[in-house]
Structure 1
């Protein structure tokens, strides 16, 4: 299994070579700085270890609280005594915070901005007293020139880390500074094991077997990889996967594009056919509309002509009705004249019958009435013939009959006279002509036989008037 290294100078590779066989070890990291970047303990924490992370900068301390829940995370500085100190931080450069004022002046001389913060200080011995309850498998110290003060605050007689990893160069320099503090380590029964160009490694005498693991630098046989490279490879694999997925999506999109192109062509063809069909339907509809419009125009002309004819016919009907009304008025006047003449004739007949001459000539009339050639028989025959002809003439004129008969019904005398005349006409047996007599003008249209009968009556009446 490939080991992923997070440390700055592969310190965790050497430590894993010596201590990787321990399943759940314990570490102390003084100057932990960041829980991931340049961290000596990150790989061990991921492997199930736990420990104490000491980092006085508040911004980094919060990251440890968030990412190292199994660790004891302390926002303090380690020193020779408990108390407070001024920490000089270079915000632009990770890991350059130091309690040494001389180090801060060096950074300022190089043009870096230095921030001063006051932090609490605890001895490493007091921290171990509170939080260590078993073996300490390694102790790492990286405090930018303050290593001697940290070592003075540690009780190596009581707490015995198996391996010590102590930064041994001046800040941002290859020059070593271990001569100032190494005696505080070797005098506590620790043996020097390795210098990696940045750190010096020491092994407790009681675990001298670990020295063999720290004799050479990290190499290919340690099967390790930097987490930056690991991240890059993972990113490359992710990008490869995404690229493959992208190519697959591109192929799908290309296939979809071809499908869409075919569908678009089919849709365009169908649309063109639909447009052509719509055009044909529109042309047919236009032709139908033109034909229907022409038919409607012709029908409108016919209707106008028929309307004109109807209006003319209506006008003619109105004129005819007006004529009939005038004729009705004339006939009404004639009927009144006829009724007056009939009344006068009746009065004359009554006067004749009541006269002396009519009574004296009664024997002669008796003789004359005997036989078929009597005057009475002849008169009756003439009257019947005239009545029949008058009846035929009246009944042959529908409009006149509708006007005359209702008017005649209004006059009882005229009704009686017409009834007598019609009755006599029905009984007539011959149509022999009689001499023309004088009749009213309104009766000039009566048949000749009727006019002759009326004239004979008139002449018979004249000689017998008193």
Structure 2
């Protein structure tokens, strides 16, 4: 479908006449904006290309940006080449080279900026494209149409269709009487007036005249672009209102979105804090669990220790009971022995108190001393003879004890004793005898006499002393029997 961008459907009428041409060529004098009210844009979209002549710097730059593959000539068109005072009214299609029209616009409240621009003639432009077929030429120069057409000298370049704006700016007063005769002389015939523009067809293409009998209508199968201010004002207003409502909704949506984002950020912050708190709780729980495990382990160890202590206590109680039992037995035995000793003592005292014992006392004493006299003499002789031996034995015992307490010195002593073999043999024999005596003492102390108390739990020194007392008692009893004592 053909989309119309022009101000007054100029492109629809031109397309109806020229749509059979593929990749046509056009020249647009006073092209203005590349989109808004553009006559050429619809053709550009259909593959056509052309030349744009625009004196305004603002619109020339916009054309170059929007149509980089087309020619844009920044210049005014007049009756002769040179320079021209140009009165520019920004962002409008009212810029003109006519000072009177510019003054009227200024009086109407428009801001008018006077500049100087280059000026070419229409013939200058057409001569550049002698080898091209120009299918349409549009002239929209805000009151300077006469000067433009005056600069169009007879030429072989004849556009098929010429469109000229034929009213004064911003009113319906027609101006074609000033310049139409010039077009007629150039071989053009008027075919259509749309209320703003007059359409002319070259006599070389009279077949196109039939296509201008009716204004734009349903059968032209076109759609409005929405950029034309006159025919789309209501639609544009509604669209603007809809856009404003949309923008308001978007703004509200943005505000709501920002609020939600802020809420989300706050929730994320709270979640992060909760996660940190949970992590701290987990760490505390792990520490507490570790402490609890340690406490349980310690408790189990304490229970085991208590159980061991209880067992040891039970064993100690059993031992204590056995000791108490043994003590009781010893106390009973001691009581019995004490009783027996008292009885024996009474009997002995009775003997000592008898007259026979008293009368025989001198005899007993004499007999005792006579018996002991040889032993005393012998003992004195033996004591004198064995004193040196005892001193040597005492020295050897000290040396032997030192060697036993310092095993590392043993090799050193053996090395030096090897020099005196006889002394070494005697020392070995002495050490062997002392070892046998110690072993015998252990055997004696371990073999308790019959009827003696159980001293297995007592130290060896106690057991040895007890055995010595026991032997002394037995020896005394034998002596008393020999002496006839009761």
Shorter-chain TM-score above 0.5: yes
- Distance, in Å, in 1 between the alignment partners of 2:189 and 2:459 is 163
TM-aligned CA distance change 1:189 to 1:229, over 3 Å: closer
Compared CA separation, residues 406 and 148, structure 1 to 2 (3 A): farther
Change (3 A) 1:352 1:204: closer
**Whole-angstrom CA distance in 1 between matches of 2:378 and 2:19:** 177
Q: Assess if the C-alpha contact under 8 Å between 2:5 and 2:227 holds in 1.
A: no
Whole-angstrom distance in 1 between the partners of 2:86 and 2:39: 22
Matches of 1:36 and 1:215, distance apart in 2: 28
Matched, 1:86 2:144: no
The answer (yes or no) to whether the contact 1:82–1:123 under 8 Å persists in 2 is yes
* 8 Å CA contact 2:35, 2:227 repeated in 1: no
Q: What is residue 73 of structure 1 aligned with on the other side?
A: 72
Separation (CA, whole Å) in 2 of partners of 1:175 and 1:348: 189
Deviation at 1:183, TM superposition (A): 1.4
State the aligned residue count.
309
User: Contact 1:194–1:215 (CA<8 Å) still a contact in 2?
Assistant: yes
Distance 1:390 1:220, change over 3 A: closer
- Contact conserved, 1:29 with 1:54, CA < 8 A, in 2? yes
1:206 to 1:298, Cα distance in 2 relative to 1, 3 A: closer
8 Å contact 1:55–1:61 — kept in the other structure?
yes
Residue 455, structure 1, aligned to residue 480, structure 2: yes
Equivalent position to 1:210, from 205, 208, 211: 208
The yes-or-no answer on 1:398 pairing with 2:397 is no
In structure 2, the partner of 1:149 is 147
After TM superposition, list the pairs within 5 Å mapping 1:37-76 onto structure 2: 37-76=36-75
Matched, 1:174 2:208: no
Q: Which residue of 2 aligns with 1:333?
A: none
Query: Residues 175, 405 of structure 1: CA spacing in aligned structure 2 closer, same or farther, 3 A cutoff?
Result: same
Distance 1:205 1:401, change over 3 A: closer
Mapped partners of 1:71, 1:220: distance in 2: 32
Alpha-carbon offset, residue 210 of structure 1: 1.2
Distance 1:400 1:347, change over 3 A: farther
Q: CA RMSD in A?
A: 4.4
Contact 2:83/2:119 (8 A) holds in 1: yes
* Paired position in structure 2 for 1:221: 219
Structure 1 CA distance for aligned equivalents of residues 223 and 187 of structure 2:
34
Compute the displacement of 1:196 (Å): 0.4
Check 1:135–1:402 CA distance in 2 against 1; reply closer, same or farther (3 A cut).
same
Structure 2 counterpart of 1:32: 31
**Greater shift after overlay, 95-104 or 150-159?**
150-159
Gaps of 5+ in 1: 240-284, 321-343, 355-388, 409-417, 419-441
CA distance in 2 between partners of 1:451 and 1:113 (Å): 160
C-alpha distance in structure 2 between counterparts of 1:398 and 1:89, whole Å: 138
3-state SS of paired residue (2:204): helix
TM-score (norm 1): 0.57
Q: Deviations over 1:233-270 (max 9, x none)?
A: 9x9xxx9xxxxxxxxxxxxxxxxxxxxxxxxxxxxxxx
Kept after mapping to 1: 8 A contact 2:455/2:463? no
- Scaled by the length of structure 2, the TM-score of the pair is 0.55
> Which deviations, in whole Å up to 9, do the C-alpha atoms of 1:196-230 show, x marking residues without a partner?
00001111112112111112211111111111289
In structure 1, C-alpha distance between the alignment counterparts of 2:463 and 2:306, rounded to whole Å: 42
- After superposition, the Cα gap between the structure-2 partners of 1:400 and 1:308, relative to the gap in structure 1 and judged at 3 Å, is closer
Shift of 1:135: 1.5
Task: Report the Cα offset of residue 70 of structure 1.
Answer: 3.3
- For residues 45-66 of structure 1, the C-alpha deviation after alignment (integer angstroms, 9 at most, x for no partner) is 2212111111111222122222
Partner of 1:247: none
Question: Partner residue of 1:14?
Answer: 13
Give how far 1:185 is off.
0.9
Between the aligned partners of 1:299 and 1:405, the Cα distance in structure 2 is 40
- Equivalent pair of 2:36/2:227 in contact (CA under 8 Å): no
- 1:199 corresponds to 2:257: no
Structure 2: 5+ residue stretches without partners:
244-288, 325-368, 380-446
Matches within 5 A, 1:117-196: 117-196=115-194
Quote the Cα distance in structure 2 between the aligned partners of 1:400 and 1:4: 131
Structure 1 residue 455 displacement after superposition? 2.2
Report the CA distance between 1:172 and its aligned residue.
0.9
Secondary structure of residue in 2 paired with 1:210: helix
Structure 1 residues 101 and 200, CA gap change in structure 2 (3 angstroms): same
Alpha carbons 2:130, 2:156 under 8 Å: kept: no
Cα distance, 1:156 vs. partner? Answer: 3.6
Supply the distance in 1 between the matched residues of 2:152 and 2:67 (Cα, whole angstroms).
24
Matched, 1:350 2:375: yes
Shift of 1:299: 4.9
Give the distance between the partners of 1:304 and 1:212, measured in 2 at CA: 129
